[in-house]
């Protein structure tokens, strides 16, 4: 299928380099949806630079040259032994590409299911919530492709009134050269439940590059609390889409945090849809962009109902020739009165070749609202650096400390009770920054 | 909110009157190469201008409407219905020579009176051509040139050609191409090195004919170390069908020069106002746009400064008032192209009734520059339930050693403030007006006295009918 837009622009003609494989073991309605999605994926044009949703992007993540749909071989025991992060957990799932190799859920009533299982036991729930939200931040084609090709998923159903103490951990391992994978996570928290989910995205071999098209959707029913954390550490040759949509009903709250460390070009999209009064969404990101990495993040805080609250904080540290793009929109729909919405994007540039693009946006169609946004780009504070040097801290260490402190602000916004989790993430960030002694100069 | 004012309507009537058309030159409706031949022949322009216009026409016809980011309302402009050139002869140097109805038009708008009081020079444009143009003798003795664009390009080709179309190339956007094809009127100003023009120069743009398109072209060159302030005002009567105003304004500030460009736009509410304005600031030069948009159906205007020399400075101060069915899509562009350049953008907008105001900004700090700074502040005030406001900035920063910050907020007139004032005996309308005036006050003060008084009055008038 040729894309008329890019062809007319004189660019290289690109296609989806694989066919939709035969679908087995899914109910008819689901197969039908997958087939429709495949037609849509073929029909939709590839993104172009002139699309507003792709402004400033290099489009690197959209290139599929040589991508394949094969299942590589791996050593299950080895993968499982690597899949450890939090000490106490309420459940765990481990995937290699599109295969689930481990699942365990300890807590009573908690359902931690693969897609196949969930379709069997909770068909109606999936009919309602599986990829049923309108994608609108630019990756429609890739979302359709995901829907058509998704093989399995982590479906997490938290029953009414259940409050889980330890986090649920999901490990996503990417294996094989140029292999495309479609990780999918769906969290549904029933009324007044509470759950924290940590998802780790890693490559089995650092020298292998893959193509990831991931979706993580969150549904918070009345009065529930969801905390989702995605730690992205793909190999330096992997391109990835991570697309999130959160739906918040009355009095619910969702905290959605992503930490981007790896990957070559990462496209992140995150939508928070505040559907019920009293709901609150926190959207957080901390990104360390170095070498020639590109982190392209687009967000939407969609206030549908009156009396809702959203707060976004995205922080980028940029070194080497890295590029970041932040495009965020606060949308206050007609009638969504008494909205409180905030958005802050901050960039710390550590090198002369780095580039930070910020597009904070507001669209306000209601009144009696309080909305503000801010975006800053700057360098290391010379006085802070001097202070540390004068106390005998080496320059490399001082720069690392400042970068760490800058990013840490986002981790400190996580819910108070998640102390162990914050420690784990802090250690992870520190280790990443310490990895290259002279990396941050 | 305690206050729910309805039926707000600004006093856009100052300019709502018209005289019968008495044009002797008319290029007819629609735009073809014949239109351009007509304009060039009538204006007796040199051949290079004919070529320039023809090239621009081609670019205009090829370029698509920018509706992939801009409002679809642009599709409602019917280019074939527009009259591209209307005039009745030469520019006069004294008001006595100006035809009576034209003179009366400008009298009603207060131009000759203001000229006597505080202006150093005036140009009054009626449809396509300036009806009157005069500059105080003391200034012309110092070598200051203040003439219409045609006179500029004919009489001073070396000065004119050097910068004409250089700050805003013809193909910059569809409407700059349109202007380049059919431009007429506007000002050409040259201020020689070291000359500081104390009083402002003023241009007044008036549309008097229905379905007319006004395409003035202004080029201001401030030579080394000079200073100049330019003010423009615009009005048109309210016609049955829409009118197009599409200007191109280029400013060139040579090293250490200062240019201030002040606009008070009060077009009637069916004018499409699509204007490209940009300045080029050389070393240590300063360009400041002070922009107030009250009228028009749709305004799209993003004054910009390219800071080309070290320590150059750019500033945009902008006030927008969007009433019922109006869309003020305004903003600023700051391109930092040298070390130690600084820019500042302060934008305040008020949306009333079903009005929509949009801020669109671009700040660009490319590679390997040091100590560039940008500050952007946008504040929006929403008055009614149906009012709308948007903010779409884009900020690109490369490398270390630079600092950019952007902040925007949206708010309402606080119910407590209104209550407090009403409790002390003010009517609700007076309280609203006071509150709104307070919101824009710090910016209004940056306008010259005469304009700031006028602006305050306009806002008060607006609020008078506002609470029902």
Output the pLDDT for position B106.
79
**Structure token pair of residue B421:** 């004032």
The residue of chain A nearest to residue B402, with distances taken between CA atoms, is A378
Listed as ranges, residues in chain A with pLDDT below 70 are 1-14, 106, 436-441
Do the Cβ atoms of A355 and B391 come within 8 Å? no
Mutate to test the interface with A, among B5, B369, B371, B399 (most CBs of A within 10 A): B399
Q: Count contacts between A and B (CB, < 8 Å).
A: 128
With H, G, I as helix, E, B as strand and everything else as coil, classify residue B278: strand
Read off the pLDDT of residues A368-410 as tens digits, 9 standing for 90 and up. Answer: 889 999 999 999 989 999 999 999 999 999 999 999 999 999 9
Identify which of A352, A371, A372 has the shortest CB distance to residue B400: A352
The residue of chain A nearest to residue B401, with distances taken between CA atoms, is A379
Mutate to test the interface with A, among B173, B410, B432 (most CBs of A within 10 A): B410
CA distance A339 to A341: 6
Output the pLDDT for position A235.
95
Chain B contact set for A50 (CB, 8 A):
68
Q: Chain A residues contacting B, CB < 8 Å?
A: 50-52, 55-56, 347, 349-380
Do the Cβ atoms of A52 and B412 come within 8 Å? no
The C-alpha R_g of chain B, in whole angstroms, comes to 22
Residues of chain A with pLDDT > 90, as a percent, come to 83
Residue B4, chain A, CB below 8 Å: the answer is: no
Q: Quick count: other Cβ atoms within 10 Å of Cβ B242?
A: 21
Minimum distance, in Å, between the CA of residue B304 and any CA atom of chain A: 18
The β-bridge relationship of strands A194-203 and A225-233 is: parallel
Output the pLDDT for position B313.
97
CA distance B6 to B463: 10
Q: Quick count: other Cβ atoms within 10 Å of Cβ A222?
A: 17
Closest CA to B144 of B184, B201, B182: B201
Domain limits, chain A? 4-440
Output the pLDDT for position B144.
94
Calculate the dihedral angle through the C-alpha atoms of B439, B441, B442, B443, rounding to the nearest 10 degrees. 100
Minimum distance, in Å, between the CA of residue A398 and any CA atom of chain B: 17
Output the pLDDT for position A291.
93
Minimum distance, in Å, between the CA of residue B390 and any CA atom of chain A: 4
Chain A contact set for B398 (CB, 8 A):
349, 352-356
The β-bridge relationship of strands B298-301 and B121-126 is: unpaired
Do the Cβ atoms of B410 and A360 come within 8 Å? no
Do the Cβ atoms of B392 and A359 come within 8 Å? yes
The residue of chain B nearest to residue A331, with distances taken between CA atoms, is B390
Helices (H), A266-363: none
The residue of chain A nearest to residue B399, with distances taken between CA atoms, is A352
Minimum distance, in Å, between the CA of residue B302 and any CA atom of chain A: 16
Listed as ranges, residues in chain B with pLDDT below 70 are 1-14, 118, 450, 458-468
Output the pLDDT for position A4.
40
Read off the pLDDT of residues B141-175 as tens digits, 9 standing for 90 and up. Answer: 999 999 999 999 999 999 999 999 999 999 999 99
């Amino acid at each position: 299928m040729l894309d008329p837009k890019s062809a007319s622009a004189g660019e290289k003609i690109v296609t989806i380099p694989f066919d939709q494989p035969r679908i087995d073991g899914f109910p008819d309605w689901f197969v039908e949806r997958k087939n429709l999605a495949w037609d849509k994926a073929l029909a939709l044009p590839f993104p172009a630079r002139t699309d507003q949703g792709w402004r400033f992007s290099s489009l690197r993540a959209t290139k599929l040259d040589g991508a394949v749909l094969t299942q590589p071989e791996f050593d299950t025991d080895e993968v499982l032994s690597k899949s450890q992060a939090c000490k106490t957990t309420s459940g765990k799932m481990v995937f290699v590409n599109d295969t689930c190799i481990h699942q365990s859920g300890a807590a009573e009533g908690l359902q931690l299911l693969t897609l196949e299982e969930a379709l069997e036991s909770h068909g109606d729930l999936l009919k309602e919530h599986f990829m049923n939200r309108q994608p609108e931040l630019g990756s429609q084609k890739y979302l359709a492709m995901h829907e058509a090709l998704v093989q399995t998923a982590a479906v997490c159903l938290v029953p009414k009134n259940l409050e889980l103490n330890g986090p649920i951990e999901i490990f996503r391992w990417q294996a094989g050269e140029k292999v495309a994978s479609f990780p999918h996570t769906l969290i549904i928290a029933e009324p007044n439940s509470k759950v924290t989910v940590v998802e780790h995205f890693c490559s089995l071999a650092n020298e292998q590059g893959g193509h990831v098209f991931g979706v993580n959707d969150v549904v918070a029913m009345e009065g529930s609390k969801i905390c989702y954390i995605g730690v992205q550490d793909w190999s330096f040759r992997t391109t990835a889409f991570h697309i999130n949509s959160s739906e918040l009903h009355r009095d619910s709250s969702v905290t959605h945090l992503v930490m981007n460390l790896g990957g070559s070009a990462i496209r992140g999209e995150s939508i928070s849809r505040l559907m019920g009064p009293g709901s609150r969404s926190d959207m957080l990101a901390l990104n360390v962009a170095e070498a020639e990495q590109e982190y392209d993040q687009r967000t939407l805080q969609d206030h549908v109902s009156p009396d809702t609250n959203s707060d976004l904080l995205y922080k980028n540290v940029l070194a080497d020739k890295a590029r970041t793009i932040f495009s965020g929109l606060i949308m206050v729909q007609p009638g969504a009165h008494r909205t409180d919405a905030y958005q802050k994007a901050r960039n710390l540039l550590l090198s002369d070749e780095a580039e930070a693009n910020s597009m904070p946006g507001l669209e306000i169609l209601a009144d009696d609202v309080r909305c503000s946004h801010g975006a800053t780009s700057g360098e290391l504070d010379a006085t802070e650096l001097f202070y540390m040097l004068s106390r005998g801290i080496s320059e490399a260490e001082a720069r690392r400390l400042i970068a760490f402190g800058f990013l840490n602000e986002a981790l400190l916004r996580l819910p108070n009770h998640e102390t162990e989790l914050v420690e784990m993430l802090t250690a992870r960030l520190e280790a990443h920054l310490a990895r290259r002694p002279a990396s941050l100069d | 909110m305690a206050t729910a004012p309805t039926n707000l309507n600004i006093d856009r009537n100052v300019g709502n009157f018209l005289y019968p058309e008495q044009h002797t030159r008319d290029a007819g409706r629609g735009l073809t190469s014949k239109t351009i031949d007509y304009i060039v022949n009538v204006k007796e322009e040199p051949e290079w201008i004919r070529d320039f216009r023809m090239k621009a026409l081609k670019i205009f016809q090829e370029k698509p409407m920018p509706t992939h980011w801009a409002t679809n309302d642009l599709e409602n402009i019917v280019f074939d219905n527009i009259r591209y050139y209307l005039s009745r002869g030469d520019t006069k140097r004294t008001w006595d020579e100006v035809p009576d109805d034209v003179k009366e038009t400008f009298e009603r708008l207060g131009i000759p009176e203001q000229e006597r009081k505080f202006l150093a020079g005036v140009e009054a444009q009626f449809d396509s051509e300036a009806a009157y143009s005069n500059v105080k003798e003391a200034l012309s003795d110092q070598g200051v040139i203040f003439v219409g664009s045609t006179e500029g390009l004919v009489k001073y080709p070396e000065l004119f050609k050097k910068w004409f179309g250089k700050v805003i190339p013809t193909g910059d956007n569809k409407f700059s191409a349109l202007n380049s094809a059919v431009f007429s009127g506007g000002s050409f100003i040259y201020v020689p090195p070291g000359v500081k023009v104390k009083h402002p120069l003023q241009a007044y743009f008036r549309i008097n004919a229905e379905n007319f398109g006004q395409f003035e072209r202004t080029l201001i060159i401030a030579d080394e170390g000079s200073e100049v302030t330019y003010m423009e005002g615009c009005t048109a009567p309210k016609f049955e069908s829409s009118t197009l105003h599409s200007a191109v304004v280029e400013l060139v500030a040579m090293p250490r020069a200062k240019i201030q460009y002040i606009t008070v736009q009060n077009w009637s509410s069916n004018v499409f106002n699509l204007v490209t304005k940009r300045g080029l600031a050389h070393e240590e030069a300063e360009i400041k746009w002070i922009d107030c948009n009250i009228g028009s159906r749709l305004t799209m205007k993003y004054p910009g400064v390219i800071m080309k020399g070290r320590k150059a400075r750019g500033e945009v101060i902008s006030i927008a008032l969007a009433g019922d069915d109006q869309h003020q899509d305004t903003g600023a562009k700051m391109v930092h192209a040298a070390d130690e350049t600084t820019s500042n953008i302060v934008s305040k907008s008020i949306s009333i009734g079903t009005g929509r105001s949009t801020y669109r900004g671009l700040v660009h700090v490319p590679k390997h520059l040091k100590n560039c700074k940008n500050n952007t502040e946008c504040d929006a005030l929403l008055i009614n339930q149906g009012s709308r406001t948007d903010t779409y900035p884009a900020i690109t920063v490369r490398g270390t050693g630079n600092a950019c910050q952007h902040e925007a907020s949206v708010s309402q007139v606080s119910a407590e403030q209104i209550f407090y004032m009403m409790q002390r005996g003010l009517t609700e309308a007076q309280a609203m007006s006071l509150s709104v005036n307070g919101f824009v006050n710090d910016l209004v003060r940056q306008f010259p006295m005469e304009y700031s008084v006028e602006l305050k009055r306009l806002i008060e008038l607006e609020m008078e009918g506002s609470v029902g």
